[in-house]
Structure 1
Amino acid sequence: MGLIGILVSLALLMWLAYRGWSVLLVAPIAALLAALIAGQPVLAHWTQTFMPGAAGFVAQWFPIFLLGGLFGKLMDDSGSIASIANYLTKRLGTRRTILSVVLASAVVTYGGVSVFVAFFVLVPMAQRMFEAADIPRRLMPATIGLGAFTFTMTALPGTPSVNNAIPMPYFGTTTFAAPGIGIIASLITLAFGLWWLARAEAAARRAGEGFGTAVVLPAPIDEKLREQATAVGDFDIAELEHGHKAEDYPPAALAALPLAVVIVVNFLMALVVLPRLDFAFLAEPAWGSTTFRAIGGVWSVMLALAAANLTVIAVNFRRMPKIRESIDAGANSAALPMMTIASLVGFGAVVSALPAFTVVRDAVIGLPGGPLISLTVAMNTLAALTGTASGGSAIALSALGDHFLNLAATYGVDPALMHRVTVISAGTLDALPHNGTVLMLLQISKLTHKESYGDMAMTVIAGVVISLAAVLVLGSLFGSF
């Protein structure tokens, strides 16, 4: 009965989340249902299992969500995102429209801007470019998706995305884990996606299909979509309407400076500065009896985002006379996504505490092929079922992280390689049709699954799956590099 309870509760969680119900409510209900069917004490699981799991996630990741939400809002309200996007598209021109949009999407998201914030700049910009080049509007989501939420979220070393940060405490790594593997995976994903889009554009031109009818973009968002989006991102889209936007854009070089600060400071702190300092005191009970290896990566991202926020403020202070409003909105934007994913982690904590979960754990850990295969299957499965890379990886690692690390030690697999495989795996089947990011991009583009999802599946799923296969082969042959 316990295994049935796990399956039923997961199905309920999936269905209600897709219907737009708040995961803050749905996750505990599903967790308590699993406990009830398994004959476990329901109230004890809520207060003694669910809540510590959820609270532990908040305690660990609140600074990253807070600083990330603030950064996204400041970059948007200062006009920096629009300035970067406009510069890249003007430099490349309409003859290379698809490449322009992909690169603009990639640059701002790799630099730490939330995809949800970026969408509201990239979608209208892409429409102008596609209309000028007479490329079918239905290809816009596939193009933006390729640049915004594939390799820049999971594969490129150093990306400060939540997806790339979550494995760090479990494997003692940084966001720069397995950089060579990550760069190769990024190039494969990018090359395949651009090849597919060029093929789709050429086919449309042969068929005489042009841009179509222009519409006013971005389209407004509704409450149902907001709930679907909070489980997959790090920014509450309701806060986009708050704050105060600057009246003009900064020069492109100044606009891009905070993005460079994120990457450079993260690199220096993770690999140069912090490792040379003495943090032996962290082993004391007063500091959680931990190690620098377990939390150094988190500290590096925190410092990088903090430095980037200060840079945005310094560069744009005179242009944003009501910057306090943007700061408040950015801070508030972190609360709902963080609590939503924490609720998913609480659900995972209850499920992993049920006696029947040992059957699931043993089945995953015992898969033939070693830890890389076990990890790949677990991440893809949970990301596909929950429709969220961050939520899926958080659930899987909170339940199985120690087991995966022990398995890696047994097989002699570098934790850095485990980190990179974790992140790329979680970013494959998460983009199925029920994914909140997919739903949002389609809605604000005023396009449907029927019109655009086929091409999206090729750029944001198929290309990533191919790169993941390459990573598994390279990692098995050469290890981490």
Structure 2
Amino acid sequence: MEIFFVVLPLLLLMYAAYRGLSVILFAPLTALLAVFLINPSWVPAFFSGIFMEKMAGFVKLYFPVFLLGAIFGKVIELAGFAKSIARLIIDLIGESKAMLAIVLVGALLTYGGVSLFVVAFALYPFASELFKKTNIPKRLIPGTIALGAFTFTMDALPGSPQIQNIIPTAFFKTTTWAAPWLGLIGGVFILSTGMVYLEWRRRKAKKAGEGYGVGHINEPGEMSSDNLPNAFLAILPLFLVGICNKIFTLLINSSYGVSFDFSSVGITETAPIEIQKMAAIWAVEGALVVGILTVLFLAFKKVKTNLNSQINISIGGALLATLNTGSEYGFGGVIAALPGFKLLNESLSSAIKDPLANEAVTITTLAGITGSASGGLSIALASMSETYLAAGAKLGITPEVLHRVASMASGGMDTLPHNGAVITLLAITGLTHRQSYGDIFMMTLIKTAAVALIIAVYYSTGIV
């Protein structure tokens, strides 16, 4: 019966997310329902002592990352840099390779620190134009954008400033560059396999005589290449974010040492900060600040026109994203404290004894249930990271490997139909789940297979 009290809130939260209901509201409601069914008197204590403490802790750690990422994406968009970069890559690759061009633009933008939601909005007009010119079915656009923006640059490639690659650093005391070779292997597998699949779909449609189609909704106007910023200047902020992320990671670890003790500056009320836990987060934040300042320096005249109103929109979006994920994190803390979770964990551990496989299955399952990579990752690591570290230490598995597996697993089954990014992407393109979700789901399967691949590569070769 205890396990039922764990499974029930997970199913209810998944249903709420699928119906588009607010996770901020329903995460605590579903978690506290389970507590109420066990012992009603526990509810206030669990809400204040566990849910709110976990949620507040998440917001304290990650809100600046969400905020700076949203602002960076917005100024890149306002400056016209996203359009310029897209046009450059399309010109270099050629319009005949429309799918590859769109994938590479999405990959460059997300790896450069632009939010995947911003990338989806920026890419769609170019994808629509290219697919029309080359007569590729419009229904293949979401799968193409998903491969470029939602997959290997989000959680596989080392150094990615996306939140899915940042969250594990606080639990495993690693950096965003953890297990670089495993990340690169997984990233290459996802990109190559995804492109093979998309090209197969394109050829199959062409053979059947299917073109772009008519009667579509949300069709963008024709894109103009006039007055676009210099493409190489547009790439500079993305390049600087990546370089500064690496430099700041090295400088912070070498400059601060193990911890920062506030008593050394006369502040005795504040506990010391463990530097290893914060270094990766600080490095990404600093890199994004450099990126924002660079965009403002290069294109202030163009950006300033709508800067105030658009920045306010970005701040609202960052707040919503942070509270959504923080609420899921609090949910995970409550569930992990229930008696049934321990039983469930013991059952899973006995069924899947290998710590890497256990970690991958647990995280990707929770990401799928919640419809959120960062949510599922946060829930799993909040309750299981110490277990994974202990089990890994016994087998000589480094925290860096645990980080990379966790990060990539979060981006596995997260893109199920109720995922917010999937719903947003389909809304932007004016397509339905029936028309285009099959291709997105194939990317989901490829991402999940990539996690199994890097685990096998690690055990076979020991490469990190």
Query: Is this contact kept in 1: 2:5–2:340, CA < 8 A?
Result: no
Query: Matches of 1:196 and 1:326 in 2, distance apart?
Result: 37
Query: Matches of 2:270 and 2:74 in 1, distance apart?
Result: 32
The amino acid of 1:200's aligned partner reads R
User: Secondary structure of 1:298's match?
Assistant: helix
TM-superposed deviation, 1:371: 1.0
The amino acid of 1:390's aligned partner reads S
TM-superposed deviation, 1:177: 0.5
Query: Matches of 1:8 and 1:206 in 2, distance apart?
Result: 47
Normalised by the size of structure 1, how large is the TM-score?
0.90
Is 1:476 the counterpart of 2:459 in the alignment?
A: yes
Partner of 1:279: 257
Tell me which of 258, 273, 278 is aligned to 2:237: 258
Partner of 1:96: 97
The amino acid of 2:253's aligned partner reads P
Tell me which of 249, 253, 266 is aligned to 2:228: 249
Deviates more, 1:210-219 or 1:74-83: 210-219
Partner of 1:134: 135
For 1:28-72, what per-residue CA distance to the aligned partner results, in whole angstroms no more than 9, with x for missing partners? 110110101122511111111110011010111111111111111
Partner of 1:378: 362
Partner of 2:19: 19
Is 1:455 the counterpart of 2:439 in the alignment?
A: yes
Partner of 1:223: none
The amino acid of 2:255's aligned partner reads L
User: Secondary structure of 2:256's match?
Assistant: coil
Query: Matches of 1:126 and 1:34 in 2, distance apart?
Result: 45
Query: Is this contact kept in 2: 1:120–1:218, CA < 8 A?
Result: no
Distance 1:340 1:127, change over 3 A: same
Tell me which of 284, 301, 305 is aligned to 2:288: 305
Partner of 1:205: 206
Normalised by the size of structure 2, how large is the TM-score?
0.93
Query: Is this contact kept in 2: 1:170–1:397, CA < 8 A?
Result: yes
The amino acid of 2:21's aligned partner reads W
Distance 1:116 1:29, change over 3 A: same
Partner of 1:73: 74
Query: Matches of 1:295 and 1:480 in 2, distance apart?
Result: 26
TM-superposed deviation, 1:290: 4.1
The amino acid of 2:251's aligned partner reads V
Is 1:436 the counterpart of 2:436 in the alignment?
A: no
Query: Matches of 2:308 and 2:445 in 1, distance apart?
Result: 43
Partner of 2:265: none
Distance 1:187 1:434, change over 3 A: same
Aligned Cα root-mean-square deviation (Å): 1.8
Tell me which of 295, 315, 335 is aligned to 2:278: 295
Unaligned runs of 5+ in 2: 221-225, 263-267
Query: Is this contact kept in 1: 2:259–2:275, CA < 8 A?
Result: no
TM-superposed deviation, 1:248: 4.9
Query: Is this contact kept in 1: 2:142–2:440, CA < 8 A?
Result: yes
Deviates more, 1:403-412 or 1:137-146: 403-412
Query: Is this contact kept in 1: 2:70–2:315, CA < 8 A?
Result: yes
Is 1:30 the counterpart of 2:30 in the alignment?
A: yes
Query: Matches of 2:189 and 2:302 in 1, distance apart?
Result: 40
Partner of 2:341: 357
The amino acid of 2:49's aligned partner reads Q
Number of paired residues? Answer: 452
Partner of 2:65: 64
TM-superposed deviation, 1:287: 5.3
Partner of 1:407: 391
User: Secondary structure of 2:260's match?
Assistant: helix
Query: Matches of 1:395 and 1:320 in 2, distance apart?
Result: 38
Partner of 1:174: 175
TM-superposed deviation, 1:364: 3.2
Unaligned runs of 5+ in 1: 220-246
Q: Percent identity?
A: 38
Query: Is this contact kept in 2: 1:366–1:374, CA < 8 A?
Result: no
Distance 1:283 1:414, change over 3 A: farther
Deviates more, 1:62-71 or 1:316-325: 316-325
Distance 1:108 1:218, change over 3 A: farther
Query: Matches of 2:298 and 2:365 in 1, distance apart?
Result: 44
Alignment of 1:150-189 (within 5 A): 150-189=151-190
Deviates more, 1:28-37 or 1:349-358: 349-358
User: Secondary structure of 2:339's match?
Assistant: coil
Query: Matches of 2:74 and 2:373 in 1, distance apart?
Result: 22
